Amino acid sequence: MSDTSLPPALLTALSDLLGPSGLLTDAGDTEAFCTDWRMLYHGRCAAVLRPASTEDCAKAVALCAEHGVPMVPQGGNTSMVGGATPDNSGKAVVISTNRMTRIHTIDHADLTMTVEAGVTLKAAQDAAAAEGLMLPLSISSEGSAEIGGILATNAGGNNTVRYGNARELALGLEAVLPDGQVLNLMRRLRKDNTGYALRQLLIGSEGTLGLITTAIIQLQPAPRSRETALCALADPQAVLNLFAAFRKQDPAAIQAFEYMSGTSMALVNNLIEGASLPLETPAPAYALVELGSPRADDSLRTLMEDVLGQALEDGLVTDAVLAESEGQRQALWMIREEHAEAQKRAGASVKNDVSVPLSAIPEFITKATAACEALIPGIRVAPFGHIGDGNIHFNLVQPEGMDPKAFLAQDHAMMDTVAGIVRTLDGSFSAEHGVGQLKTYMMPSWRGGAELDAMRKIKAALDPKNLMNPGKIFPES
Ligand code: MLT
Ligand code: ZN
């Protein structure tokens, strides 16, 4: 039984093009594509299209454009801001990339991987590792997040501090534009100043300008030595001081530098089976430090021990544990990577993915904590994140026992309170998660005037009928 509202002529054309596994119309089959990972958004769609190649994707997009059907590109559906969920009208189709899963080439001379949009980040990382190389992007959702979505949102994550965001890693790109044309930017060049950087325009456009189908990703030699430590500290200022101490010795060795508050750590400890804090006593703040090098000598161990030894002696670090095996390293990373899941299990939460200059982080956390606690008594302020990039996930978990709906009804009040403090510190209300649909309402006050106007003009030029991921980034006008 088909549950679609698509015009019959379009349905027939799509069915001929994509075949039974490429076109889902039954509500039972499409439902999972209409709800986000956080279970905040529950939309509806007319169908899910699952093209298996760029060519089929381009033809499907052209058909939908001809019939004026809105399209919502979707990768692994791990957006934190509802960026890949259709609205409630049931008029849009979701275009899923999850059948475009080929890794075309890994080139050792160019240090690149050519990969289709639907390959998960984990599968791409594993393929690079199997060849003695590294894909230097790592995020908590890497088991399901897909390359296309990662580029569309310019994901950041744990290694940005050393290798940059997704946009720094993409040397080439292929995308289907809203009218079905294929934009081929698969050039693999480190230098190319021929006109506008369209590749960078597509990256971070959150699927509003086109659907990314293939990319060329810059790889790195795999690290042959790695040192990982979990440290307990008194507060975020101490975490920053520790970061500065490593940076002073060898900035290029810092592969990841993550912060976790005592509150967010306690949630992981209590709610995630198999996670246990390998330190004696709970602390107000933690740092997860990873150093990496393609050299196989023991210089990183010396660096780690020197910096931590001094920090312990100075009382900057109150306790620390070093991973002595790959298993222990993974156990430390598991504690960090389960933060989002633990907060989901703790009830309703409001995410504030913000960035401020490094020097402003302690002031931000102090002020925002006090403001949120005054706003909602009993609220659990559980910040953590990529402190080496100035990116804090200032997440707010509902008071125990509170009705989740009543908590979420105040989401704008909480987001505005946090954003107000971020603004006074010259920060951004979206560091790495994007605007999606959750934060569109903030755009006019943050990116108004000429900036939002230029963005709207670019959108109108490439997508005059507003068919590609409508309702995302831009506030309703
Ligand atoms: C992470 O770094 O784990 C995610 O970006 C965070 C989140 O849940 O806000
Ligand atoms: Zn993050």
User: In a structure prediction context, what are the per-residue pLDDT tens digits for the chain, which is 477 residues long?
Assistant: 467 789 999 999 999 999 999 999 999 999 999 999 999 999 999 999 999 999 999 999 999 999 999 999 999 999 999 999 999 999 999 999 999 999 999 999 999 999 999 999 999 999 999 999 999 999 999 999 999 999 999 999 999 999 999 999 999 999 999 999 999 999 999 999 999 999 999 999 999 999 999 999 999 999 999 999 999 999 999 999 999 999 999 999 999 999 999 999 999 999 999 998 999 889 999 999 999 999 998 899 999 999 999 999 999 999 999 999 999 999 999 999 999 999 999 999 999 999 999 999 999 999 999 999 999 999 999 999 999 999 999 999 999 999 999 999 999 999 999 999 999 999 999 999 999 999 999 999 999 899 999 999 999 999 999 999 999 999 986
Residue of 333, 384, 429, 432 best suited for mutating to test ligand 1, as the one with most atoms within 8 Å of CB: 384
Residue that the structure tokens 């279970």 belong to: 39
Q: How far is the CA of 309 from the centre of ligand 1 (A)?
A: 30
Instruction: Sort residue 222 into left (φ over 0), alpha (ψ -120 to 50) or beta.
Output: beta
Q: How far is the CA of 264 from the centre of ligand 2 (A)?
A: 14
Say how far apart CA 4 and CA 14 lie, in whole Å. 12
Say how far apart CA 407 and CA 416 lie, in whole Å. 15
Among the bound ligands, name the one nearest to the CA of residue 142. Answer: 1
* CB proximity list for 454: less than 8 A, separation 6 or greater: none
Question: What confidence score (pLDDT) does residue 2 get?
Answer: 64
Say how far apart CA 73 and CA 84 lie, in whole Å. 6
Which atom of ligand 1 sits closest to the CA of residue 393?
9
- Residue 339 CB less than 6 A away from ligand 1: yes
Name beta bridge partners: 90: none
Q: What is the 3-state secondary structure (H, E, C) of the chain?
A: CCCCCCCHHHHHHHHHHHCHHHEECCHHHHHHHHECCCCCCECCCCEEECCCCHHHHHHHHHHHHHCCCCEEEECCCCCCCCCCCCCCCCCCEEEECCCCCCEEEEECCCCEEEEECCCEHHHHHHHHHHCCEECCCCCCCCCCCEHHHHHHCCCCCCCHHHHCCHHHHEEEEEEECCCCCEEEECCCCCCCCCCCCHHHHHCCCCCCCCEEEEEEEECEECCCEEEEEEEEECCHHHHHHHHHHHHHHCHHHEEEEEEEEHHHHHHHHHHCCCCCCCCCCCCCEEEEEEEEECCCCCHHHHHHHHHHHHHHHCCCEEEEEECCCHHHHHHHHHHHHCHHHHHHHCCCEECCEEECCHHHHHHHHHHHHHHHHHHCCCCEEEEEEEHHHCEEEEEEECCCCCCHHHHHCCHHHHHHHHHHHHHHCCCECCCCCCCCCCCHHHHHHHCCHHHHHHHHHHHHHHCCCCCECCCCCCCCC
Question: What confidence score (pLDDT) does residue 477 get?
Answer: 60
Which atom of ligand 1 sits closest to the CA of residue 433?
5
Cα of first residue to Cα of last residue in the chain, in angstroms, is: 37
Tell me which amino acid residue 149 is. G
Q: How far is the CA of 103 from the centre of ligand 2 (A)?
A: 26
Tell me if the pTM is above 0.85.
yes
Q: How far is the CA of 140 from the centre of ligand 1 (A)?
A: 7
Residue of 39, 78, 81, 140 best suited for mutating to test ligand 1, as the one with most atoms within 8 Å of CB: 140
* CB proximity list for 118: less than 8 A, separation 6 or greater: 75, 96, 97, 98, 99, 100, 101, 146, 147, 148
Q: How far is the CA of 29 from the centre of ligand 2 (A)?
A: 30
What is the dihedral angle through the alpha carbons of 251, 252, 258, 259, rounded to the nearest 10 degrees?
Answer: 0
Q: How far is the CA of 252 from the centre of ligand 1 (A)?
A: 24
Q: What are phi and psi of 130, to 5 degrees?
A: -65, -20
Which atom of ligand 1 sits closest to the CA of residue 343?
8
